[in-house]
Every structure is written in structure tokens, then in C-alpha cells.
Amino acid sequence: MVLWLPTRGDVPLASSALIAEPSDARLPQRLAPWRVTGLQLEMDQVIELLCACMRKQALAPGVVVGCDLGCWATALRFAGSVIARERYLPGVMQSQGVYYARWEPVIEGPDARRLAALVQQMPAASRALSDDNGSPPQLAPSAIVNAVVAGMVDRLVRRGTGAEVSAGHEKKKTAHATERFASVHDHWLHALRTADGAMGGDPAALAHFAAQVREWQRPITLATTSPLRLCFRLEDPDEPEHAEKDAADGASGGAWHVRYLLQAADDPSLLIQVADAWRGRRGAEAPWRRSARVSPVLARPGGGNF
């Protein structure tokens, strides 16, 4: 594999002054490919390694936990937090023509901000590996962090279901899957508890089933990807604004007012009234309409008295 490292002259820069003397600062610095030999770990091995690195600066005398390992250990803690709060759903993904049952994290609100912070903290070394020495890796940091966290969540949930069968053994059984299950739904439920989640069978039937799962997930997907979310604020009846409105409407005093607000997902301090956001703002009505299905009272974007 190829590792892209900052280089001066014919020598890559050391990651720490403990490893090597600083290079000649007069030489220009460039990003260059270096061919290295690595060991690809299974996700279970990755999890065990990161658990050993958790909140440590060294694993043994002379064995220092680097910034990249520390970052992924933090990502593992985040994945564990997502699972502990049951913020995940079953799903289906396709890779190289094979369908896999997957446990997928549901990231929104504070979790989305924590994930964004992980992306910002990720050192460049975490995306330095490449299979090609022609150009540096082009994957965005957010894509890498999202994929790693999703893989951690999937594997940790499987371990909780007792999926200890080796992936190789599971692949041998995949070809006979359609003979062992009454429906693709039964196959999916079984695959969610196997080591690798691979699903065999008719590609057309699997593609149709994957579309069904995506449609089932759609309300959650919309909620987690929406830039806005609906908030409710209960306001005291003694506030002058409501007292004047009650008097103008001929209503008796003492009514509590519920105001409907839209909150920016990436900035909780930003709040705007639904009635204002509705005017010419495409997409602003989505969270409000979902809530209106729960109670007809919520169909009034200006709020209501109770």
C-alpha cells in the first residue's frame, strides 16, 4: 500500500521529535508517496486495539499512542454511546454486487455536532493511505469518519447479538440462503445476527427489498438530514404580548401560549418562528408538517393558546 507523507528531500518528516531529528527547513516541503507494508485488521481486532488505547498516551515503554489512534479511540467511544442510547436502525447496503444486512447509526442533534467535532479533530495521517501512488487520497474526512463509525456500530451491535461465526464460514452458507428461509425478510433478520451480514438470493428480489427498507427508514432519514427541526416554547399568560392579544380577541386572560419555532440543526441558538419561515422558504415546512400529523392543533403555524 502507499502512504502519502510530508517530505523534504528524500526523507519523510518524522511524526515526532522522539523518532528523528528535524529535517533541513531550507528544503521545500511536499506531499510524496511512500510504499509501506501493512497488516489489515478485522473490525473486531480494530475494536480490541482501540479499547487498549483508550485514554492512554502509551501502551508500553517506547510504544506511544499516536494522534490518529487516539482519534479513532474517541470515535469508538462515540459509537459505543450511540449504541448505549439505542440510536441505530437495521438497514441494507450493496457493495460490489453483494447485499449486506447492516446496523446503521442514527445521527442527529448533539450527536451530529459530536461527529462534526470528530471530523475536525481527525489528523491528516488518518487519510494518508492509498492503493495508488499517482495521486493523494481524495476521500473527504467526513466520509472517512462516517464510514468508520458506521462500521463500528454495525460490528458492536452484532457482537451483542452473539454473532461470533467467522465471516468466511458465513460466505460459504450464503449460496444456500434462499433454501433455508421462507422469505427475504427472514433472511434479512438472520443476516443481521451473522458475522458479515451477507445476503444471497435473487438480485432483483434483493434490490426490491432494499428499496422497501429505504422507504421504511425514510421518516428517520428526513428527520436526521433536515437542516431544521421543530421546537415548542410555552409562554407565560402574563406576558404583555399575549395579554393584549387576548383582549383584542375578546378572550379571557390566563391562557398559556405555545409558540412553534424552527431551530437550525447545526446551531441550536438560531430560532425562527414557523409562520415567518413558511413564507417562501422551501423545505422549512417539513418538520412542522410531520408534527401536524400528531395533533391537528399543530396545523396552525402561528402557535396556539391552551
Asked if 294 and 148 sit in the same domain, the reply is no
Contact 213, 103 (CB under 8 A): no
224, 248, 273 — which closes off a domain? 224
Domain that holds residue 293: 227-305
Asked if 151 and 220 sit in the same domain, the reply is yes
Name the average pLDDT for the chain.
83
Asked if 182 and 264 sit in the same domain, the reply is no
User: Which of 278 and 256 is assigned the larger pLDDT?
Assistant: 256
Highest mean pLDDT range out of 43-52, 171-180, 235-244, 259-268? 43-52
Asked if 119 and 54 sit in the same domain, the reply is yes
Cell match 447479538: residue? 161
Burial of 291 (0-12, 13-18, 19+ CB in 10 A): middle
3-class SS of residue 183: coil
Contact 301, 260 (CB under 8 A): yes
User: pLDDT of 145-195, one tens digit each?
Assistant: 999 999 999 999 999 887 654 444 445 454 444 557 889 999 999 999 999
Q: How far is CA 219 from CA 20, 174, 222, 244, in A?
A: 54, 31, 5, 39
pLDDT at res. 291:
59
pLDDT at 246 over 60: no
Asked if 56 and 203 sit in the same domain, the reply is yes
pLDDT band at 230 (very low <50, low <70, confident <90, very high): confident
pLDDT band at 20 (very low <50, low <70, confident <90, very high): confident
pLDDT at 285 over 60: no
224, 239, 263 — which closes off a domain? 224
Asked if 52 and 129 sit in the same domain, the reply is yes
Kindly give the residue spans of alpha helices, DSSP state H, lying in 12-105: 43-53, 67-84
Look at 27-41, 200-214, 228-242 and tell me which has the smallest mean pLDDT.
228-242
Asked if 105 and 250 sit in the same domain, the reply is no
User: pLDDT of 65-98, one tens digit each?
Assistant: 988 999 999 999 999 999 999 999 999 999 999 9
Asked if 49 and 178 sit in the same domain, the reply is yes
Residue 171, H or E segment: helix 167-174
Rounded to 5 degrees, what are φ and ψ at 15?
-75, -15
Sign of the C-alpha dihedral, residues 136, 137, 140, 145?
negative
pLDDT band at 26 (very low <50, low <70, confident <90, very high): confident
pLDDT at 208 over 90: yes
How far apart CA 187 and CA 136 sit, in angstroms, is 40
174, 190, 224 — which closes off a domain? 224
Residue 62, H or E segment: none
Asked if 155 and 289 sit in the same domain, the reply is no
Asked if 164 and 218 sit in the same domain, the reply is yes
Asked if 258 and 117 sit in the same domain, the reply is no
Long-range contacts of 91-96 (CB under 8 A, 24+ apart): 91/213, 91/214, 91/217, 92/188, 92/199, 92/206, 92/209, 92/210, 92/213, 92/214, 94/207, 94/210
pLDDT at 251 over 70: no
Look at 104-118, 119-133, 181-195, 255-269 and tell me which has the smallest mean pLDDT.
255-269
HSE-up of 275 (CA within 13 Å, CB side)? 9
How many folded domains does the chain comprise?
A: 2
Asked if 148 and 277 sit in the same domain, the reply is no
Report DSSP state, residue 208. H
User: Does residue 84 form part of some domain?
Assistant: yes
User: pLDDT of 172-182, one tens digit each?
Assistant: 454 444 557 88
Reported pTM:
0.77
Report DSSP state, residue 16. S
How far apart CA 84 and CA 78 sit, in angstroms, is 10
